[in-house]
Every structure is written in C-alpha cells, then in structure tokens.
Amino acid sequence: MDWIQEFLPLSVERINVWIGALCTFAIYSILYRENPFYRFFEHMYIGLAAGYALGPYLVDVIYRYWWEPIRADGIWWLAFVVPFGMYLYFIYNEKYGWVSRLVIGSLIGAYAGLTFQAFSSRYLPQLQGALSKVLWYPPNATGEIYLSTLINNWIFVIILLSVLTYFTFSFEHRGAVKRTALVGRWFLMIGLGTIFGNTVMARMALLIGRVYYLLDSWLMIRVGGG
C-alpha cells in the first residue's frame, strides 16, 4: 500500500512526474492513430519550444553582446547592429522583402569566407593522413610495423580511391574505371551499413530512455544495471 501512496500524484513533485507521464502517453497515442489528444500536445510542444528560446536569445545574446557593451563600455556603433539585423524581419513583406536579403547576403558571405579555414583544418589533415599510409615496410621505420597495419593501409587506400572514383562525373566510366566505380559503390554500402547499425542503436536508446522514465520516475520500479 505504501507504493500506492507514493505513486499517486499527491505532492507537487508527484504531480510533476504525472504530467511528464501524461505528455509521454499523449505523444505515443499517435502510434495508435492520429487523434486530437496528440494534436493538442504536439502544438503545445512547438509553442513551448519556441517560447523557451526567447530567454536565452534575449539575455545571453541581446543583453550580453549588445546592450551591455553599449551601456557599460560605450561602444556606440553597436547600436546599428540590431536595426540592421531587424531588416531580416521584412522577409514576409512583398514590397520591402528584398531588404532582408542584405542581411542574409552578409551572413552567407561570412560563412563563405569562413569556409576556407574549415576546408584547410577539416579536410587537409584527412588528405595528409591518407597519403602518408605506407604500403610496404619503410626503409627508416621508427617503431615496429605489423603486417596487419600494412594490409589495413592497402585496404584504406583502395577503398578510398574506388569510392572517390564512383563520385566522378565528368568522364564516361568504361572498362576498368567502370568496374572500380561499381566496387566503390559496394564499399560505400559497407559505410552506409555501419551508419544503419549505429542509427538503429541511437533510435532504440532514445525509446529506452523514455521507457526508463516511465518505469523509474513514474512507476518507481528500480531498473537495470545488473
């Protein structure tokens, strides 16, 4: 009977947990079929998520990076930043909508300009990592090189080149190139298979987390862990 006493929503804390469980069941009701109950909670969810973001936007960004520097540090030119940014909000207006493209253009330009550093830092070390794979016992090796390392290096280079071949488009794939590209697509399937397996695991974990909440917090059943 103690369990019933504790289980029922008789304290603030328990009411909260029950509301959490209600939200969970409301969303899961779509698995049975589309219904107004689900629609209600779906719209509530979207509204809450949008409303929540306002706090961090206003205080962590607008206050911290705009109002404070103008007020406390007297950086007056910052005052122009928000009015310029507000041009974005003309986007739905037919007559003045184009001014929002000035801001969007600046943002796109900024990201384009930042791409050069990303290209260098993200891809060139990967290029260097691939082209420094030794294919035979090197003459001046430091440390021991295992046969398995060499085999894996061969595999690495072959797979990388054949998949790259598959993704070329400006010349006709014929003969050996065609076969390489076909093998490339098969190798690609291995990579996609690992993504498949990992994605399934991720999705299951999210569901498990939910069931865990229902069992542990709502029904108060001690769960798992051996």
| Contacting another protein within 21-80 (CB under 8 A) | 21, 23-24, 27-28, 30-32, 34, 39-72, 74, 76, 78-80
> Which residue in the block uniquely carries the two structure tokens 């509204």?
47
CB of 151 to another protein, least distance (A): 9
C-alpha 82/C-alpha 94 separation (Å) is 22
Which one of residues 136, 143, 175, 176 is an interface residue with another protein (CB under 8 A)? Answer: 136
Asked if 220 is part of the footprint of another protein (rule: CB under 8 A), the reply reads no
Q: In the stretch 141-180, what mask flags binding to another protein with x, by CB under 8 A?
A: xx-x-xxx---xx-xxx-xxx-xxx-xxxxxxx-------
Give rounded-to-5 percent helix, strand, coil for the chain: 80, 0, 20
C-alpha 110/C-alpha 102 separation (Å) is 12
CB of 73 to another protein, least distance (A): 10
CB of 174 to another protein, least distance (A): 10
Q: How many helices (H) and strands (E) does the chain have?
A: 9, 0
Determine the size of the site formed for another protein (CB under 8 A).
Answer: 167
C-alpha 165/C-alpha 188 separation (Å) is 11
- b/e per residue, 86-104, with b = 16+ CB within 10 A? ebeebeeeeeeeebbeebe
Which one of residues 140, 143, 175, 176 is an interface residue with another protein (CB under 8 A)? Answer: 140
* Residues 174-203 contacting another protein, CB under 8 A: 184-203
Asked if 1 is part of the footprint of another protein (rule: CB under 8 A), the reply reads no
C-alpha 221/C-alpha 218 separation (Å) is 8
Residue nearer to another protein on the CB measure, 139 or 175: 139
C-alpha 7/C-alpha 14 separation (Å) is 7
Asked if 85 is part of the footprint of another protein (rule: CB under 8 A), the reply reads yes
